[in-house]
Chain A
C-alpha cells in the first residue's frame, strides 16, 4: 500500500510538532524517519497510524483519503517503543488478541487462529515461548513478539516507533539485520522511527531526515550520507569537519587551498563553511605541488582496519580538532607519530554559504 502525506501540520500548545509535511511512501518500501528528539518523527508516525490527529493536512492510503478514518479501519500494524505487550496475557494470547477481538461474523475459527499464531511465533523464532508471560522475556524477545502481534492482523502498513530504542547495542544489531530480512520476505510497506543514524542508514530503503517539525531531506541512505542537502543533515549523519572559508564566482578558498565550486557561480565574496567527511581528507608528509593546509597530529587511534587521526590546523586561531580517517596501509606508508607535521587537503567537500548560528 502506498501512503501520501499532504501539507500535514500539528501543534502541541505553542510547540509546532509538524510543519507542512509532504511525503510519498511507495508500496512495499522500508522507510526510516530519522531525527533528533523533538523533531516530530514520532508524531508523524502516530498521525499516520491514526493515534493522533493532525491540525491540518491529509493522509492518503492508496490514493484514498484516510485522514478521518479511525485507527481500527486503517489496517495498520503498530509496534510501540516500549512494546506495550499485554502483561496479563501469555505470549500466545498477546499475538492472538487482534484475531480474537474481531466481530463474530469475520472471526477466524479457533483452529485457524491457533495455526496463524503458531506460524507467526515460528516466523519470529519464539514459538517455544508461547506459554510465557511478557515479564519473563528479554527485551529483544519482547520486541519480536510485539512485531508478531502487529503482523497477526495482516496489516497493510507496518509502523514501528523506535523499535530498537530500549535494547542494548549487541541485540540492536542482530534485530536490525533480522528486521531487514523479514521485510525482504514480506514486502509490507513499513515505516520506522529512529534517532540512530547508523540504524536508519543500514536498514532502510529510503531515509527521511527530520528536524524541528520539518523534513530536511528525503533520499536513499547513500544519497543522504554522501550528498547531504544542508548543514543540518551533514552534522546529523556521521562525523564531519568544518572549515571556514570564502566563495566567489564559482571558486572557493580555505586558507591557501583553492577549490572549484561551480554550484556557487553567482556567489559574490561570501563567507562559507566547507563540510568534509573524515575519510575525504588526504594526508601527506610533504606539500606536493598544489597548496595544502598545514596541520599537526595530536592523537592517533590505530585499532581496527581504519586509523583515526586527530589534527589541529597550524597558524589558525581555530583550535577545533580535525578528524581524519585513513586506511591502515596508508598509515604504515606515512609512519606517523604524535606531534608530526602533515599537510591536509579535502578530497571532496560541500560548501554552504555561512549561516549565522
Chain B
C-alpha cells in the first residue's frame, strides 16, 4: 500500500499543508502562470521574432555577460574573503564578517545611487579612474560593478561553512606526507570546497541576471549598449506593449528555472561531497 503521507500523532498536517499550498498558489503560482498563458497567445514565429530583435539580443548579451563576469569576480574574491575570514585573525574581523551581508540588507536603489555617485566622473573613485581612461558609470562596466556588489555575499556565505568544517587533521596528514601549502590547497582543500564555490557562483549569477534596482542608476540605459533585459521589460510595459514585455519575461523565467534546477543539483552534490568526507 502506498500512502501520500506517513502516519504521525502530531496534528495539523492538513491545515498546515492546505494553507501553504493555497497561499503559494494565490501569491506565486497563479500570477506566474499568467506570464506563460499570456505568451501562449503568440504563435511561435511571433514569439521568436519578439524575443530576438537586435535590441533584445543586445540586452541579453549585456545582462548575461556582465552577470557572468560579476559572478566570476565574486567567485575569486569571495573565496579569498571566505578564506581570510575563516583562517586568519585580524582586528575588526567580526565587523567585517557582519558587513558581508550588506548587499542583502541594503535596498538596491540605495546601492544604485551610492555606486553611481562613487564611480561617476566627479566621484571618489571615478575621479581617480577617469584620467586613466577608465569610465565606469554610465557604461557596461558600471553594470558589472553593480552586479558584483549585489552578488558579493553569495560565494562568501556558501564557501565559509564548508571551509570551517575542513578538519585540521586532513591538512596535517597532507603536510606530513610531504605536500607543501600550495599542493595541500590545490589537491585537498580546493576539491572539497569546489561544489560550494560552484553553488555560490550559480546563486550570484542567478541573482545578477534578474537585478534591476542597483543597475539602472549606474548603467546609463542606452539602448543597444547599456540597457539590461529587466529594464527592457519595463520600457515595453511603459509603452503598453504587454505582450512584448511578457514574452521577454518568459525567456528570463525559463532561464531562471533552469538555473534553479542547476543550483539544486549543485547543492545536492555539495551535500553529498561533504557527507562522504
* Chain A interface residues (CB < 8 Å from chain B): 11, 50-53, 55, 70-71
- Report yes or no: B1 in contact with A53, Cβ–Cβ below 8 A: no
Contacts A/B (CB < 8 Å), 8 sampled: A11-B1, A50-B9, A51-B9, A52-B7, A53-B7, A55-B1, A70-B9, A71-B9
- A-B CB proximity, top 4 nearest: A53-B7, A71-B9, A51-B9, A52-B7
Question: Chain B contacts of A55 at CB under 8 A?
Answer: 1
Interface string of B1-36 (1 = CB under 8 A from A): 100000101000000000000000000000000000
For B7, what are the chain A residues with a Cβ–Cβ distance below 8 Å? Answer: 52-53
Q: Closest CB of chain A to B81's CB: distance in Å?
A: 34
Q: How far, in Å, is A14 (CB) from chain B's closest CB?
A: 10
Bound CA span A55–B1, Å: 9
Give the shortest distance, in Å, between B249 (CB) and chain A (any CB).
42
A51: B residues at CB distance < 8 A: 9
Contact partners of A52 in chain B: CB under 8 A: 7
A70 to B7, CA, bound (A): 12
Q: A11-B1, A50-B9, A70-B9 are in contact. List 5 more A-B contacts (CB 8 A).
A: A51-B9, A52-B7, A53-B7, A55-B1, A71-B9
| Complex Cα gap A70–B9 (Å) | 8
Residues of A contacting B: mostly? loop
Which residues on the B side are within 8 Å of A53 (C-beta)? 7
In Å, the complex CA distance between A169 and B176 comes to: 37
Q: How far is the CA of A230 from the CA of B7 in the complex (A)?
A: 34
Complex CA–CA separation, A50 to B1 (angstroms): 20
Query: With A and B bound together, what is the CA distance between A315 and B7 in angstroms?
Result: 58
User: Which B residues touch A50, using CB under 8 A?
Assistant: 9
Please name all residues of chain B whose beta carbon is closer than 8 Å to the beta carbon of A71 when the two chains form the complex: 9
Closest to B11 in A: A70
> How many whole Å from B266's CB to the nearest CB in chain A?
28
Residues of chain B within 8 A of A11, CB atoms compared: 1
B6 and chain A: residue at smallest CB distance: A12
What secondary structure prevails in chain B residues at the interface with A?
loop
CB distance from B84 to the nearest CB of A (A): 34
Neighbouring B residues of A70 by C-beta, 8 Å: 9
Alpha-carbon separation in the docked complex, A52 to B3 (Å) = 14
What is the bound-complex CA distance between A50 and B9, given in angstroms? 8
Q: Give A53 to B7 CA distance when docked, in angstroms.
A: 7
A54 to chain B, nearest CB (A): 10
Q: Which residue of B lies closest to A55 (CB)?
A: B1
Complex CA distance for A166 and B239, rounded to whole angstroms: 69
CA distance A51 to B8 in the complex (A): 7
CA distance A249 to B7 in the complex (A): 53
Instruction: Report the minimum CB–CB distance from B6 to chain A (whole Å).
Output: 8
A29 to chain B, nearest CB (A): 26
A71 CA / B9 CA spacing, docked (Å):
7
Q: Which residue of B lies closest to A51 (CB)?
A: B9
In the complex, what distance in Å separates the CA atom of A55 from the CA atom of B7?
Answer: 11
In the assembled complex, the Cα of A53 lies from the Cα of B1 at a distance in Å of 14
Closest chain A CB from B140 CB (angstroms): 54
- Residues of A near B9 (CB, < 8 A) are 50-51, 70-71
Instruction: Kindly provide the distance from the CB of A349 to the nearest chain B CB, expressed in whole angstroms.
Output: 45
Shortest Cβ gap from B119 to chain A (Å): 50
- B7 CB, min distance to chain A CBs, angstroms: 5
Cα-based distance from A52 to B8 in the complex (angstroms): 7
Nearest residue, chain A, Cβ from B7: A53
How far is it, in angstroms, between the C-alpha of A65 and the C-alpha of B1 when the chains are bound? 24
Determine the distance from Cα of A55 to Cα of B2 in the docked complex, in whole angstroms.
11
A222 and B9 CA atoms in complex are apart in Å by: 37
CB of B12 to closest CB in A, whole Å: 14
Q: What is the minimal beta-carbon distance from B126 to any residue of chain A, in angstroms?
A: 54
Closest to A47 in B: B7
- Docked pose: A52 CA to B10 CA in angstroms: 11
Closest to B2 in A: A13
A226 to chain B, nearest CB (A): 40
Considering the complex, give the chain B residue whose CB is closest to the CB of A50: B9
Closest Cβ of chain A to B237, distance in Å, is 50
Considering the chains assembled together, what is the distance between the CA atoms of A99 and B129 in angstroms?
A: 73
Report B90 CB to chain A, min CB distance, Å: 34
**Complex CA distance for A11 and B7, rounded to whole angstroms:** 12
Report the bound CA distance from A71 to B7 in whole Å.
Answer: 13
Q: How far is the CA of A71 from the CA of B11 in the complex (A)?
A: 12
Q: Which residue of B lies closest to A52 (CB)?
A: B7
Tell me how far the C-beta of A140 lies from the nearest C-beta in chain B, rounded to whole angstroms: 28
* C-alpha gap A307/B7 in the complex (Å): 52
Binary per-residue interface labels of chain B (162-177) against chain A in the complex, 1 for a CB within 8 Å, 0 otherwise: 0000000000000000
**Closest-CB distance, A78 to chain B (whole angstroms):** 10
CB neighbours (8 Å) of B1 from chain A are 11, 55
Assembled-state Cα–Cα distance A51/B7 (Å): 8
Measured between alpha carbons, how far is A11 from B1 in the docked complex, in Å?
8
- How far apart sit A51 and B9, CA to CA, in the bound complex (Å)? 6
Question: Please, how many angstroms separate the alpha-carbon atoms of A317 and B7 in the complex?
Answer: 53
| Cα A46 to Cα B9 with chains together (Å) | 11
- Please report the C-alpha to C-alpha distance between residue A70 and residue B11 in the assembled complex, in whole angstroms: 11
Closest to A11 in B: B1
Please measure, in the bound complex, the distance between the C-alpha atom of A71 and the C-alpha atom of B1, giving whole angstroms: 24
The residue on B at minimum CB distance from A53 is B7
Least CB distance from A237 to B in Å reads: 33
CA distance A64 to B7 in the complex (A): 23
Q: How far is the CB of B34 from chain A (nearest CB, A)?
A: 39
Nearest CB on B from A43, distance (A): 11
Shortest beta-carbon distance, A71 to chain B, in Å?
5
CA gap between A230 and B1 in the complex, in Å: 32
> Complex: how many Å from CA A70 to CA B1?
22
Q: How far is the CB of B201 from chain A (nearest CB, A)?
A: 37
Name the distance in Å between A70's Cβ and chain B's nearest Cβ.
7
Q: What is the distance, in angstroms, from B2's C-beta to the closest C-beta of chain A?
A: 8
In the complex, A174 Cα to B28 Cα: how many Å? 58
Query: How far in angstroms is the closest Cβ of chain B from A66?
Result: 14
Q: How far is the CB of A173 from chain B (nearest CB, A)?
A: 33
